[in-house]
Structure 1
């Protein structure tokens, strides 16, 4: 999802191929043995072609090529390292807590509250940031915002009723800004599965 957001924000044209991960096309596995999405294959006349198969790297590639909203905050040399530090914290630490939280709820384990509280440490950090400004890094939207939206969307869905009354009004407002946007509708649009075969 966030790779698509990055490309959308960069206003770049790509050939989007949605795949069924239960029936992975041969071409997909040939491009990246990881067998996970996203996979960006660059038609840059290199042989073998350049492949980017990490969502954050796709976002950085896209915004480095075109950043009309200045999401990388190019006016501030310290901004991008700060963004990447926050993103790494969520990629490496929050994601582990989130996966445990989702599994606990799904399998009706007795540690749902404990798992949720582990996630809340990170949610509270975002709430504190959003009390200070409209977006995570400043009053201006940044890479950090669009990189973390998918994680917080997942968190919000685990225990929906609890989330709606939880003491994180700024996080809810921030997330709703994205979920109710035309960008989100376009990025989440479903496409027919691509099956490969040289199409």
Structure 2
């Protein structure tokens, strides 16, 4: 039986979270690594919005939001209870954190990362706006090893790729900023086996015309 097809871009934090959900659920997909400047027509036919990730299921249905891809995979198998089914009181908190990341933090992150494209304000100003969310995470991480408990949940895996991107804009500043718990938390995820596995490099789809089976069993 054919596998679902995942269009992905290695460095995109949305695609990272989708790959993490698939990896941690033990699912397998045919991974097609794309180049954003040369999007495959097959991907655009399936999802005209033209952003990654895009998951095409065996029945032809399309899942084109990264959180929905995570939930699709984890609904099939969630051995670590990342969806918090055994901790329902935390589900709304996790959802709210992810929404704040996506709706509030991400726009400031983009302006901080590409401050030269947004000359109305300084890079420092955009960083300070993003810091309000970093401070929120720092406060949570004073109470637990992970955002909502001592074990990670969907919120940790959905958010840390974006914090990684924020940290990378000015690594010297971030490493010396007053966020020791966020720094510890981020490092632990970046150094994890799961992240190492999802960041493996693959030839691009347009260059090789090949997809690659991707999933938990291919974890290095």
| Same-fold status (TM-score > 0.5) | yes
Structure 2 distance, partners of 1:27, 1:182, is 32
Aligned to 2:125: 114
Report how far residue 81 of structure 1 moved: 2.0
Name structure 1 gaps, 5 residues minimum.
Answer: none
2:50 maps to which of 20, 24, 35: 35
Contact 1:86 1:144 in 2 (8 A): yes
Deviations 1:5-41 (A, max 9, x none): 1111111111111112222222111111111110000
Structure 2 distance, partners of 1:198, 1:103, is 33
Report how far residue 110 of structure 1 moved: 6.2
Residues 105, 146 of structure 1: alpha-carbon distance in 2 compared, 3 angstrom cutoff: farther
Report how far residue 145 of structure 1 moved: 0.1
Structure 2 distance, partners of 1:164, 1:99, is 20
Q: How does 1:14-53 map to 2 (within 5 A)?
A: 14-44=29-59, 49-53=60-64
Contact 1:127 1:171 in 2 (8 A): yes
Residues 133, 197 of structure 1: alpha-carbon distance in 2 compared, 3 angstrom cutoff: closer
The alignment of Structure 1 onto Structure 2 pairs a total of residues equal to: 195
Q: Where is the strand percentage greater, Structure 1 or Structure 2? A: 2
Aligned to 1:145: 156
Aligned to 2:6: none
Report how far residue 76 of structure 1 moved: 2.2
Structure 2 distance, partners of 1:185, 1:197, is 24
Structure 2 distance, partners of 1:163, 1:105, is 20
Cα RMSD of the aligned pairs, angstroms, is 1.9
Q: How does 1:46-65 map to 2 (within 5 A)?
A: 49-65=60-76
Q: Secondary structure at the match of 2:78?
A: coil
Structure 1 distance, partners of 2:198, 2:183, is 20
Residues 117, 7 of structure 1: alpha-carbon distance in 2 compared, 3 angstrom cutoff: same
Please list every run of at least 4 consecutive aligned residues from structure 1 whose deviation after the TM superposition is greater than 4 angstroms: 105-110, 196-199
Contact 1:72 1:79 in 2 (8 A): no
Q: Secondary structure at the match of 1:101?
A: helix
Moved more, 76-85 or 137-146: 76-85
Aligned to 1:10: 25
Structure-1-length-normalised TM-score: 0.92
Q: How does 1:55-94 map to 2 (within 5 A)?
A: 55-94=66-105
2:177 is aligned with 1:162? no
Name structure 2 gaps, 5 residues minimum.
Answer: 1-15, 212-220
Residues 156, 105 of structure 1: alpha-carbon distance in 2 compared, 3 angstrom cutoff: farther
Structure-2-length-normalised TM-score: 0.83
Q: Secondary structure at the match of 2:95?
A: helix
Aligned to 1:95: 106
Residues 74, 22 of structure 1: alpha-carbon distance in 2 compared, 3 angstrom cutoff: same
